[in-house]
């Protein structure tokens, strides 16, 4: 079964796409072709999009799903002319909220994702810069300013998780790779000296060795780096280190970056500087 879903907005489209994808993810048996249409902010764009939706309905032989966060009533009325099953997010939720709060919404386009509060926006920028500056152990002298330091073997998801934490929550996340250089003379992985003063900030990531080997093979095929034996040894040593030092950790194998980040925040009690947009 195949259907087309349109995420439509007169702003960035982030809200429509995020909520739309969350809703449609519950229907695993349906093959969804997802199309995001941001900045439908003029009547001309709206009429043109209606034609696209009409053509899609004819091509697919089925009614498209239309999920929108259109604020402008005139544009929303045009979109409503298109054939499709419509989920109008703002109309669905704003009207009851207006009644409960006994006031009218300002109906401002782009309110959710605009710069709006300068402090929040700049906090996001500073957090992203921090994550980039402190990626992969490149710098360690700023660890006193870090909210969390992610550790783990190479390619287990440290960098994308650090950036997501920064962008979505304003968390200053550094990350440090555990390598063979951190082993003692007996070949046992030990905590790097640079991390010792910050044990309370450490959070470990681990991953299934087979998945790790597949990821590394894309980067360096047919190398010791991506061999199953090497991956298995590194993962086992990292997990042993976490258990020995009671470092909280999570297996990233089957989790998205969003899930890794939110589970980590829930487990550590990290304070978010702002809520995700």
Q: What residues are designated binding site for ADP?
A: 152-159
3-state secondary structure labels for all residues of 64-118: CEEEECCCCHHHHHHHCCCCCEEEEHHHHHHHHHHHHHCCCCCCCCCCCCCCCCH
Binding-site residue positions: 152-159
**Is the separation of the CB atoms in 252 and 259 below 8 Å?**
no
Pick from 191, 234, 180: which is nearest to 212 by CA?
234
Pick from 209, 182, 205: which is nearest to 264 by CA?
205
Helix-, strand-, coil-residue percentages of the chain, each rounded to 5: 50, 15, 35
Q: Exposed (0-12), middle (13-18) or buried (19+): which is 269, by Cβ within 10 Å? A: exposed
**Is the separation of the CB atoms in 152 and 202 below 8 Å?**
no
Helix then strand count (H, E) for the chain reads: 9, 8
């Amino acid at each position: 079964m195949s259907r087309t879903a349109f995420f439509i907005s007169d702003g960035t489209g982030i809200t429509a796409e995020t909520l739309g994808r969350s809703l449609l993810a519950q229907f695993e048996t349906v093959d969804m072709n997802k199309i995001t249409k941001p900045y439908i902010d003029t009547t001309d764009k709206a009429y043109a999009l209606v034609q696209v939706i009409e053509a899609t309905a004819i091509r697919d032989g089925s009614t498209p799903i239309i999920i929108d966060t259109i604020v402008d009533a005139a544009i929303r009325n045009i979109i409503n002319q298109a054939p499709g099953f419509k989920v109008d997010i703002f109309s669905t939720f704003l009207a009851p909220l207006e009644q409960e709060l006994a006031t009218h919404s300002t109906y401002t386009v782009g309110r959710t994702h605009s710069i709006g509060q300068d402090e929040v926006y700049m906090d996001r920028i500073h957090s992203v810069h921090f994550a980039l500056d402190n990626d992969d152990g490149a710098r360690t002298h700023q660890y006193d300013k870090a909210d969390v330091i992610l550790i783990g073997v190479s390619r287990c998801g440290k960098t994308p998780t650090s950036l997501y934490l920064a962008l979505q929550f304003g968390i200053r996340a550094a990350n440090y790779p555990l390598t063979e250089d951190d082993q003692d003379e007996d070949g046992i992985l030990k905590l790097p000296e640079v991390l010792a003063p910050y044990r309370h900030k450490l959070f470990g990531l681990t991953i299934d060795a087979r998945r790790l080997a597949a990821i590394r093979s894309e980067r360096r095929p047919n190398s010791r780096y991506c061999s199953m034996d090497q991956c298995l040894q590194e993962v086992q040593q990292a997990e042993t280190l976490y258990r020995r030092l009671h470092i909280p950790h999570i297996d990233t194998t089957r989790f998205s970056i969003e899930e890794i980040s939110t589970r980590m925040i829930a487990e550590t009690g990290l304070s978010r500087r702002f809520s995700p947009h």
